[in-house]
Structure 1
């Protein structure tokens, strides 16, 4: 979050949960780990995460899912929801990591 705040202030949910959100997270995580980013598109990163061979490709997917779960949980409590449904294109990409 600190790395993202250096680039965007504030870092809103859309910055993480949008289709390009995983590509906002990935270079920040690479910087923290001291490695050069290997993937340059969301499609390549998501494919690598699904393959499971690159732990650094999986990590942003897990962060996105944690962020999404937190946001969905907060909204469910606020609105007194008994269920939460995920829809849209992004949900199919993260389903395995939920």
Structure 2
């Protein structure tokens, strides 16, 4: 089973990732230093994150899963540093007029 998941951190920020093997204890490859900047040292002592499977497939190719991951990153806007920790695809701060 291949999955797309959403990790939610205590500050409400999110990370969207994929797991091609659906490993229960895999929590992605978000940049630890980036996340640590948002939390005080004492907050590290009791830290709870939530992992939700938001999409799954037994038949999708790896290429299709990669595309689906980007789709969800854009849908949730998790590459916006104010919203989440995804650093790719690069967030474009476009001001709408």
TM-score (norm 2): 0.29
Say which structure, 1 or 2, has more relative contact order (CA 8 Å, 6+ apart). 2
Q: Which has the higher strand share?
A: 2
Q: Which has the higher helix share?
A: 1
TM-score (norm 1): 0.29
